[in-house]
Amino acid sequence: MTGHAAEQHPHGADRLCEAGDRVYSRAVRRGRVPRRDAEPVPCLLDLALLHPDPDDMDWLVPTAPQEVMTRLLRGLYDEVSTSQRRVGSAVAAFEWYAGLGGRRPQAVAAEGSAIRVLDGLSRIQAAMDEATEACTNEVLSVQPGGIRPEHELTEGLHRALALRARGVRMRDLYTHVARHGQGLLTYLELMGGAVQARTLDEVIERLILFDRTVAFIPANADRTLALELRHPALVGYLGTVFERLWRLAIPLTAPLPDTGIEGISHREQSIAALLAEGHQDAVIAERLGISVRTCRAHIARLSETLGAASRTQLGVRIAQVGLDGPPRPEPTRLTLPDQGSRSGR
């Protein structure tokens, strides 16, 4: 909260300002309020009494009064020797709020605990830290993109070390491009046997799954919004997706399979398959975790190797040599046109 907002709203969730009381009460009665209604009362977002609706970010839904009361009591009981009267006030206040919506707050509580929107990096990191502390068995993660930036690896290192210290098993999925990042190799060496890593041509969006009970996924393109998922069906589904990708992935310590075609790398084979599907360069680059410039350089090498003088001809040659689909189980080494036949085209 900014200094100006703090001066206008110097309170906690147990003693809302008049404006905050009106907006929160309306949200509990109706189930949600437009985001613009909460702009004059930033205290409601700062105190996590309202949070974005996962189905429509222009609306805010209330945190269930029972959940707020539980959160308040957890902190207040630590100060019970000096805050006894405040505890009673908090209970009385949110029992009254709970009555405003009739039976609806129970449904809000169930939904709020199953899907929670985390707005801002600080809240995302705090929720991740909480899940890390509670984790006792395993962590599954999918890390899309290419070479992992140093700051991303450093930001999560304290969590990974804490998990390793408790004997928690970790499995990470990356794109093949991540194999070329020294930072990732250093991180895995530091973690020792606590982390297993595998790679694929392309993976799904970022996913972190703790003990098959809570999962985190991004909710916008720049990852400043995240969803915390605790619904057993959702978490179970994401766990199944991870296991199937893991089975298809290649261990980081193993080499990538040979394409079976002289002069064409595994990455160029992946690019060829996506070109055959009709994707533009920028889409291919994003899916494989490489820059558009690198993608175009590979396409140029494909054209040269396959003797294609145009994009249309490249598509034909990709199909002719069998690069327009998944790799063959037992690739047969093919003979490409020689320089003489290329020049005659």
pLDDT tens digits for 318-344?
888 887 765 544 444 455 655 444 444
User: 250-256 — which CB contacts under 8 Å span 24+ positions?
Assistant: 250/176, 250/198, 250/199, 250/200, 251/196, 251/197, 251/198, 252/174, 252/179, 252/188, 252/197, 252/198, 252/199, 256/176
- pTM to 2 decimals? 0.59
Tokens of 279: 């994707």
Q: What is the mean pLDDT of residues 201-218?
A: 92
The H or E element that residue 172 is part of is strand 169-175
Contact 264, 331 (CB under 8 A): no
Mean pLDDT of 275-294: 84
Distant-in-sequence contacts of 81-87, Cβ < 8 A, 24+ apart: 86/14
Per the model's pLDDT, the better-predicted residue between 344 and 176 turns out to be 176
Q: What does the pLDDT look like over 269-280, one tens digit per residue? A: 888 888 888 888
> 186: which 2 tokens?
């250093």
pLDDT single digits (tens) 113-160: 789 999 999 999 999 999 999 999 999 999 887 776 666 666 677 888
Distances (CA, A) of 160 to 40, 85, 125, 144, 168: 40, 41, 13, 18, 9
Q: Which band of pLDDT confidence, cut at 50, 70 and 90, is reported for residue 14?
A: low
The answer, yes or no, to whether residue 106 has pLDDT greater than 50, is no
Mean pLDDT over 211-232 rounds to 92
The chain-wide mean pLDDT, for the chain, equals 79
User: Is the separation of the CB atoms in 93 and 83 below 8 Å?
Assistant: no
Residue 294 confidence class, pLDDT cut points 50, 70, 90: confident
Residue 345 is predicted with a pLDDT of 39
Q: Find the helix packing angle between 266-276 and 292-306, rounded to 10°.
A: 90
